[in-house]
């Protein structure tokens, strides 16, 4: 196997520990098959302490769309547990975000944006993802895209006026789910 397909650097299969093999992780992800997230949480519990677990997950994530939803959930769960990905894996994740198709994977990644430390390159990719998702047909994706754009104001304060405009428009025209998220954003902006 070569390195991350969306990236310019490589992690050779020889760098993987014997405990975590991509093929085994893929098998476990296939067995999950969209089932209860508790099964993904068990996978996380079994492998999270292995230093190469997330290296393998990001390789799997970048190799195609089939596993992007469960991998994105596992990464989000990792952050929820109070951990962070190393910078190079954050970069790898963001390098492939333009390939996301499944709405749950989009939401998980959009929900992570406020928690990530983005480089200038990842910031551009995050902004592209957010702008693409603002036009998504899924209401929840659009809601989290607005939240993602708001999170990017931390890096680019000039986006604040645009976020306010989008929020005001959303309060007039969008669904209840989006309005709820927008009200939270506006409350944070006023705090």
pLDDT digits (tens, 9 = 90+) for 162-175: 999 999 999 999 99
CA 118 to mean position of chain CA atoms: 12
Q: Tell me: pLDDT of 20 over 70.
A: no
Q: What does the pLDDT read at residue 167?
A: 97
Q: Domain for residue 41, yes or no?
A: yes
Which residues 6+ apart lie within 8 Å of 24 measured at CB? none
The answer to whether residue 57 sits within a structural domain is yes
Range of the domain at 175: 118-191
Q: How far lies 91's CA from each of 8, 10, 172, in Å?
A: 11, 13, 36
Per-residue pLDDT at 4 exceeds 60: no
**Which residue is associated with the tokens 């939803």?**
69
For residue 12, give both structure tokens.
Answer: 């050779």
pLDDT at 62: 87
- 54 and 129 housed in the same domain: no
Residue 65's pLDDT band (cuts 50, 70, 90): confident
What is the rounded average pLDDT of the residues 127-141? 97
Residue 51 lies in a domain: yes
**Given pLDDT bands bounded at 50, 70 and 90, which one contains residue 5?**
very low
pTM: predicted TM-score of the whole model, two decimal places: 0.87
For residues 139 and 93, membership in a common domain is answered with no
Q: CA 45, CA 95: separation in Å to the nearest integer?
A: 26
CB 4 within 8 A of CB 62: yes
Residue 103 contacts residue 140 (beta carbons within 8 Å):
yes
Residue 21 Ramachandran class (φ > 0 left, ψ -120 to 50 alpha, else beta):
beta
CA distances from 163 to 22, 121, 178 (A): 40, 21, 13
Write down which residue in 40, 68, 99 finishes a domain. Answer: 99
Q: What is the pLDDT of residues 68-101, one digit of tens each?
A: 999 999 999 999 999 999 999 999 999 999 999 9
Number of domains observed in the structure of the chain? 2
- Work out the pLDDT band at 191, boundaries 50, 70, 90: confident
User: How large is the average pLDDT for residues 126-134?
Assistant: 97
Please tell me the predicted confidence (pLDDT) of residue 71.
95
Q: What tokens were used for 91?
A: 């970069």
- Residue 32 scores a pLDDT above 90: no
Query: DSSP class of residue 174?
Result: S
Map tokens 């677990």 to a residue.
53
Would you say residue 111 lies in a domain?
Answer: no
Give the number of other Cβ atoms within 10 Å of residue 174's Cβ. Answer: 19
Structural contact between residues 164 and 156, judged by C-beta atoms closer than 8 angstroms: no
Question: Are 89 and 175 part of one and the same domain?
Answer: no
- Residues 1 and 76 grouped into a single domain: yes
């Amino acid at each position: 196997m070569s390195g991350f397909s969306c990236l310019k650097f490589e992690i050779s299969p020889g760098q993987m520990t014997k405990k975590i093999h991509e093929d085994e992780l893929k098998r476990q992800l296939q067995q999950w098959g969209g089932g209860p997230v508790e099964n993904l949480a068990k996978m996380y519990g079994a492998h999270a302490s292995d230093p190469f677990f997330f290296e393998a997950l990001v390789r799997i994530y970048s190799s195609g769309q089939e596993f992007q939803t469960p991998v994105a959930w596992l990464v989000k769960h990792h952050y929820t547990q109070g951990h962070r990905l190393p910078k190079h894996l954050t970069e790898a994740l963001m390098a492939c975000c333009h390939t996301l198709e499944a709405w749950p994977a989009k939401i998980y990644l959009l929900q992570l944006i406020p928690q990530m430390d983005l480089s200038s390159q990842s910031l551009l990719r995050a902004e592209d993802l957010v702008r693409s998702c603002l036009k998504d047909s899924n209401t929840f994706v659009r809601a989290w895209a607005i939240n993602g754009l708001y999170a990017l104001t931390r890096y680019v304060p000039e986006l604040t006026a645009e976020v306010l405009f989008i929020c005001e428009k959303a309060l007039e025209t969008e669904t209840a789910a989006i309005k709820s998220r927008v009200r939270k954003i506006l409350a944070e902006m006023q705090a």
